[in-house]
Amino acid sequence: MNSRKVRVRFAPSPTGPLHIGGVRTALYNYLFAKKHGGDFILRIEDTDQNRFVSGAEEYIIESLKWCGIEPNEGVGFGNGDFAPYRQSERKEIYRQYAEKLVNEGNAYYAFDSATELEDARVRMDGSFSYNSFSRMGLKNSLSLPADEVKKKLDAKENFVIRLKVPEADEIHLTDIIRGPILVQSAQIDDKVLFKSDGMPTYHLANVVDDYLMKITHVIRGEEWLPSAPLHVLLYEYLGWKNAMPEFAHLPLLLRPDGNGKLSKRDGDRLGFPVFPLSGEFPDAKTGKPEKITGYREAGYFPDAFINILAMLGWNPGTEQEIFSMDELINTFSFDHIQKSGAKFNPEKAKWFNQQYLHKKNPTELADHFTPILQTKLAVGSPQLANKEFVKTVCSLVREKATFVSDFWTLSSYIFIAPSEYDSEVIKKRWNEKSKSFFELLIGNLNKLSSFKITDIDATIKQTCEQLGIKTGEVMQLVRVLVSGKGSGVDLLGMMELLGKDEVCKRIEKAVMVISK
């Protein structure tokens, strides 16, 4: 690694909602920066005005904030020494570099209209490339006489500036994850760097900003690997080869059931989110507004979400799967990033959330559960006002849940006394002795001055002994009479929580209904 202070950037284009693959790129940048005491920057690459989608930038910022990937500097996170961080606000910077490239013979003006390029494409049977083989037959400052070029520029004719890619050169680069890469320059076309509307294209703006912002490592998705050799050429031509960042191209996220790239369609089809937050954005193809579901709204905890993403393409080299952000920072390295695509497994994603849910403390869970309870229980309900009660419900149900949204189904009978009783269990277990057992049990429970799990347990056992019944024969009935259900949370824990009066009242009512 070079000796400069590590500075990395996440550089999304605000062309739609941020895909989870993008969040993973941001995460790996963040982990790498933190591990090396470096800086992590958020740069918004919005030079392509045609693809700009309103709300996308805010969505990116909110997503990063939600999952705790906080940049040190960048749009939405405060200025460092390199502001502005939105490329549309840096417009003036790029032109001088485009002109420097032209002046030094490494780029040129091209005046071909869209129709002329289309004609060339048709002439070449679709195999057309603007490159060293075709450029002299097209309309540019290399093929036209100098005075004609000057005339066109003076008349402010539309132009683009294209990189003059050498005819036969070898471009070498080393990717941290993929190793040495050799590309023949003949495979690269003369990419547009700058347009007459005053805007740079991605390639120029990206390289100029990485240089000016002193970026040491470019960590981005594999889809940008084909652009890397072009960027290497730009560093060379701009005289920045010594300051060129190291490259690390991350494996693609693949859909669960094939080798295709994970898309919104896969999520819709298989029922899992591919975005961090819910929202509404125009569909990339039709432009129609479309709702998207996010991990946040699906009930994932941000730390579980981070853990899920971290393991998509990276592993610690051990069996450990659960990592806090700090543990990830300590353990993360490029050595264990895989080259091949990472298959997304929605069931595993749920498993991660479940692991986090089981470890959460009841106070935090109660904070998440309370808004749900507010929609289910009457305003002013005493249980809702009793935080300790809600917390205990949370600790009773969390072992059986994957999301906090499962809590209501798992615990509604704790809040609302049942009026129906599992008929299968009643049919199987209710016999001639049952009524007297429960009447005696109510009497014994009522005598208790302390209503703890151990007291309740001892009283049930004692009542069984009095009537010569085995405890095993009545326990499920006790559950059904108190909760209406044949299975559920820890029975004695639930009874302790409900309290003596409520438990006796429930059993009394059940005996009446069942023995009617």
Q: List residues near ligand GLU by CB under 6 A.
A: 11-13, 45, 202, 206, 220, 224
Calculate the alpha carbon distances from 425 to 264, 272, 473, 475 in Å: 45, 36, 11, 11
Q: Which residues contact 467 (CB under 8 A, 6 or more apart)?
A: 433, 436, 437, 440
CB of 45 to ligand GLU, least distance (A): 4
Answer whether 486's CB lies under 8 Å from 480's CB. yes
Calculate the alpha carbon distances from 110 to 191, 311, 405 in Å: 11, 46, 59
Check residue 6 and give left, alpha or beta (phi > 0: left; psi -120 to 50: alpha).
beta
Pick the closer one to ligand GLU by CB: 12 or 341: 12
Pick the closer one to ligand GLU by CB: 279 or 362: 279
Comparing CA positions, the residue from 278, 242, 312 lying closest to residue 25 is 312
CB of 342 to ligand GLU, least distance (A): 17
Pick the closer one to ligand GLU by CB: 10 or 111: 10
Pick the closer one to ligand GLU by CB: 12 or 74: 12
CB of 202 to ligand GLU, least distance (A): 6
CB of 206 to ligand GLU, least distance (A): 5
Answer whether 65's CB lies under 8 Å from 59's CB. no
Pick the closer one to ligand GLU by CB: 112 or 175: 175
Pick the closer one to ligand GLU by CB: 202 or 369: 202
Pick the closer one to ligand GLU by CB: 236 or 327: 236
CA distance 275 to 303: 15
By CB atoms closer than 10 A (0-12, 13-18, 19+), residue 258 is exposed
Order of strands, sheet of 170-175, starting from the edge strand that comes earlier in the sequence: 73-74, 39-42, 7-10, 217-221, 246-250, 170-175, 179-184
Q: Which residues pair with 183 in a beta bridge?
A: 171
CB of 24 to ligand GLU, least distance (A): 12
Query: Strand, helix or coil at 410?
Result: helix
Pick the closer one to ligand GLU by CB: 220 or 500: 220
CB of 57 to ligand GLU, least distance (A): 12
CB of 219 to ligand GLU, least distance (A): 8
CB of 195 to ligand GLU, least distance (A): 16
Position 497: which residue type? L
CB of 388 to ligand GLU, least distance (A): 49
First to last CA, the chain: 81
Q: Which residues pair with 172 in a beta bridge?
A: 182
Concatenate the DSSP letters of all residues of 145-183 into one string: -HHHHHHHHHTT---EEEE---SS-EEEEEETTTEEEEE
Pick the closer one to ligand GLU by CB: 240 or 403: 240
Check residue 255 and give left, alpha or beta (phi > 0: left; psi -120 to 50: alpha).
beta
Pick the closer one to ligand GLU by CB: 62 or 222: 222
CB of 207 to ligand GLU, least distance (A): 9
Tokens of 393: 């419900």
Answer whether 229's CB lies under 8 Å from 171's CB. yes
Pick the closer one to ligand GLU by CB: 120 or 225: 225
Comparing CA positions, the residue from 241, 233, 245, 242 lying closest to residue 106 is 233
CB of 406 to ligand GLU, least distance (A): 36
Calculate the alpha carbon distances from 77 to 41, 71, 73, 84, 86 in Å: 9, 6, 6, 12, 12
